[in-house]
Amino acid sequence: MSYPSHRPRRLRSTPALRRLVAQTSLEPRHLVLPMFVADGISESRPIASMPGVVQHTRDSLRRAAADAVAAGVGGLMLFGVPRDQDKDAGGSVGVSQDGILNVALRDLAKDLGEDTVLMADTCLDEFTDHGHCGVLDATGRVDNDATNERYVELAVAQADSGAHVVSPSGMMDGQVAAIRAGLDAAGHIDTVILAYAAKFASGFYGPFREAVSSSLRGDRRTYQQEPGNAREALHEVELDIDEGADIVMVKPAMAYLDVVRAAADISPVPVAAYQVSGEYAMICAAAEKGWIDPQTVALETLTGIRRAGADIVLTYWAADVAAWLA
């Protein structure tokens, strides 16, 4: 029997050959580890729906962050979890220099300096008593412009505390332009804006709401992206780039790989994608049943996100992947 002169299988015959011709790489430097730091707890608190992920104390956060950076993880994304009694309608604890997120940013900035990229979630949902991403008007709807004013205050406070990157995630119109102007006016001209440019109203966020002890009532469909609207998502990406975003992000990642690919095709700035809590949790749940191997599937899904065009991937597997690839 004759075979074609070129047999693709030849290039798969040894690990070294496969490594040599690999078209998509997955390296620790591509990955950002989301981390949660909570106020008012004396020891780290496991998050039941996200096995292996915890709400950190300030001390445990410092240790885990140092370990992740030493392993080669590219960056850290911090989320603050205040005490319920410190939440209010305007999310003032997020702006306060004594708020848990800003205190933790100062801790890590002191510990790690320029050895990592320190990112902060620039949103109000963790800090408000109603759990929405913005300031509510008299009718109970999120007030876009009033929220942007608050985002500027958050971003400046985070940059003052040592964040290299601020990350507006509320999907307010004009949020990037407002934050860029506010940062520049405060002297933070080198602070990077990672814009959640296409953040979809997804069912995959459930475990995250446990992670941040969310107070949300209702949903966020009036400001987050409709899942079926890819063209609209790309318009949002273009708007954020025009407003000065340094990095744009698609969230979630795995159900929106077509949007990741399309964003990468049009974006002159790096594209990030967030493998969110529900995507992480379903891999863990299947692994606990013995149906899949978690390491194999985690690496496969992250490689798929990279193959779709993401330059940066936020994932709760980041530190594990760095160890696996060492």
> Which residues are catalytic, by number?
199, 251
Inter-helix orientation angle 257-266/230-243, to 10°: 40
Q: Which residues on adjacent β-strands are paired with residue 15?
A: none
Size of the chain, expressed as the number of residues it contains? 326
75 contacts 83 by C-beta, under 8 angstroms: no
Q: How many CB atoms lie within 10 A of CB 288?
A: 11
Separation CA 110–CA 113 (nearest Å)? 6
